[in-house]
A and B are shown apart, each in its own frame.
Chain A
């Protein structure tokens, strides 16, 4: 066979590589610059006075050259149903990725890509469990080239499927969220979910805003000592004191507002045009305004689905849905926002469109009062000393800290009331609350292990905590229902145990002889 056509990346790669390295090195460089930058006394020769700038310049040139070398040496081509990548100047790296190992192709269009109609393609494989980065990355290729990769991949997979069609049939497991043969019947992409601009705005204004605001306040509070000009205040009349405090208050307000607006803007930009489509075998998520991202999540790799109901958003009738996938870092974390913000009433309908076999009913088994005290009792352990200390040291005002007791107890009771579980066929549903209510839907075959925990007090009351561990990217997601009746916990345990043919045959080890 003749030589396969080798493709190169777009020349912008060189600049992108440079920017990437520069971004990582920018902090030490800035520190260096500030430490030495403007200390020129005038009598030193120019190259001494500006040496930091010279270092800076040399570094940029060096990085640019190395970026160019990287771009020049980088080639990829398709051969023997593999994506082959070759790179490196002195150390030649060859990476051959078999097509049937490729789980998904993720596209990102950054601001450098857009003017040239380019995309960054990340190749995700099943086995990328050790390294954090994607297996293969094509930093900048034209959209046609990206299409070509996709076509090659699809063709290779088709060839593969025709060869091992019997094998495939066997492989389709009876208990997946997806019924058998489902992918054969719906060959085209179906649009599942698009976020409207109104929803996006609500998402942006409510997302992590509180955390950002609080941290902003904390930063400002820590600066207060320097901001309030005490000495000056003591010397001036009281009107000025008020004025000074007012200025500080206004500054704080605007500072917090600024940080919050920034976070709103960032959320808005990164989730703009959020869209979910369902393909034959995977979900495609596209989002972003300045940086367009397109992530593919193979349905087979989805480990669990979690509906998160934040109390603040619940107020407006919204919830969000995240999924945990086994893929190697498909997005920035192992948790993928499937529907960042969706009307609570619509959640079930959307989920059923993606996962037709899922039981989306509310988990019916609530907890009885037996475990209730455990939800707030343990908190006294830390509350009592803290409150005691506060009252002791700040006598009259410290008493206000007593008010936290009913709050914590109320939260505990709320958590108790929210907790629930349900077993329906091969699916386990667990609902639990920290502050947000989480409802986790897991298939039995996706639960990696299950744990039942009992403290001494638990045993006395006949209560147990149950934890189901599910793979999530590189890590683990734990779904936990705390302090449930021990019979119910054992019921779940037994359900989990019946994964395979139940046979209690002893295999190894020496039985206890007492």
Chain B
């Protein structure tokens, strides 16, 4: 059995995902309220309210509590001298191996929420694929980007 990659992403990443979950849940709630108003106006059957509440509660549980937790527990990465290994996935665990020599460029990016938490995501591009590590502490992300680009520079450009 292969050992798992060594590093976890920042714990603050979990918070950010929960925040995303809360935002999505509130959008869903707004929609549900809209439907609720329609139900009230047109006097549709009242069990629709129950379904709505049930859906929102389940959705909230999954998307705020459960999924970010699993996702965070799964997310591992490791940058070695000659390759990058990632592991992620919710139901299906995906392990990706990217040799350093295949790396073409590395980007870091940061949206407003990530910035608030001092996080950044890093995208590693090969000639054919792009791989993203979603939440790293900003300094670490910048550091990693620089290191990968140094390590990858040794590669010959022969795609």
Contacts and interface: CB of A to CB of B under 8 A. Distances in A.
A502 B89 contact: no
Contact of A449 (B92, B102, B147): B102
Interface stretch (A148-156, A285-293, A464-472): A464-472
Given A326-B127, A507-B151, A455 B92 contact: yes
Contact of B2 (A303, A455, A490, A500): A490
Contacts of A300: 158
B17 interface: no
A231 B45 CA distance: 43
Given A449-B129, A469-B129, A499-B99, A173 B156 contact: yes
Given A448-B129, A450-B97, A452-B96, 12 more contacts: A449-B126, A449-B131, A453-B92, A454-B93, A455-B92, A456-B91, A476-B129, A494-B2, A497-B99, A501-B81, A512-B6, A512-B76
Contacts of B76: 512
Nearest to A499: B99
A504 B81 CA distance: 7
A196 B60 CA distance: 64
B16 interface: no
Contacts of A301: 159
Interface string A478-495: 000000001000100110
A493 B97 contact: yes
Nearest to B154: A500
Contacts of A452: 94-96
Contact of B127 (A448, A494, A504, A505): A448
22 contacts: A173-B156, A447-B102, A448-B102, A449-B126, A449-B128, A452-B95, A452-B96, A455-B91, A471-B128, A476-B128, A477-B128, A486-B1, A493-B2, A494-B2, A499-B82, A500-B81, A500-B83, A501-B82, A506-B6, A509-B6, A509-B140, A511-B7
Contacts, number: 122
Contacts of B101: 445, 499-500
Interface of A: 171, 173, 300-301, 303, 326, 445, 447-456, 458-459, 469-472, 475-477, 486, 490, 493-494, 496-497, 499-512
Contacts of A500: 81-83, 99-101
B52 interface: no
A472 B127 CA distance: 9
B96 A472 contact: no
Interface string B146-159: 01000100001011
Interface centre among A458, A493, A497, A503 (most CB of B within 10 A): A497
Interface string B1-16: 1100011100000000
Interface in B66-118: 76-83, 89, 91-102
A505 B83 CA distance: 10
A504 B80 contact: yes
A5 B99 CA distance: 48
A451 B95 contact: yes
Contact of A512 (B8, B129, B156): B8
Contact of B96 (A451, A501, A510, A512): A451
Contacts of A453: 89, 92-95
Interface of B: 1-2, 6-8, 76-83, 89, 91-102, 126-129, 131, 140, 143-144, 147, 151, 156, 158-159
Contacts of A303: 159
A454 B96 CA distance: 12
Nearest to A446: B159
Contacts of A493: 2, 95, 97
Contact of A507 (B80, B102, B126, B128): B80
Interface centre among A450, A477, A508 (most CB of B within 10 A): A508
Which 10 pairs across A and B sit closest by C-beta, in order of nearness?
A500-B82, A509-B7, A471-B128, A448-B126, A476-B128, A448-B128, A499-B99, A471-B127, A449-B98, A452-B95
Given A509-B78, A509-B140, A511-B6, A499 B83 contact: yes
A472 B151 CA distance: 25
A296 to B, nearest CB: 18
Interface centre among A454, A507, A512 (most CB of B within 10 A): A507
A173 B156 CA distance: 10
Contacts of B158: 171, 173, 300, 445
Nearest to A507: B79
A104 to B, nearest CB: 15
Nearest to A451: B96
Contacts of A173: 156, 158
Contacts of B7: 509-512
A477 B127 CA distance: 12
Nearest to B3: A504
Contact of B79 (A458, A490, A508): A508
A449 B144 contact: no
Given A452-B94, A499-B101, A509 B77 contact: yes
B126 to A, nearest CB: 4
A451 B87 CA distance: 9
B129 A497 contact: no
Nearest to A172: B158
Contacts of A471: 126-128, 159
B97 A326 contact: no
A506 B144 contact: no
A448 B159 CA distance: 9
A9 B58 CA distance: 68
A508 B147 contact: yes
Nearest to A513: B8
A171 B102 contact: no
A267 B100 CA distance: 43
Contacts of A458: 92
A179 B101 CA distance: 21
Nearest to B150: A507
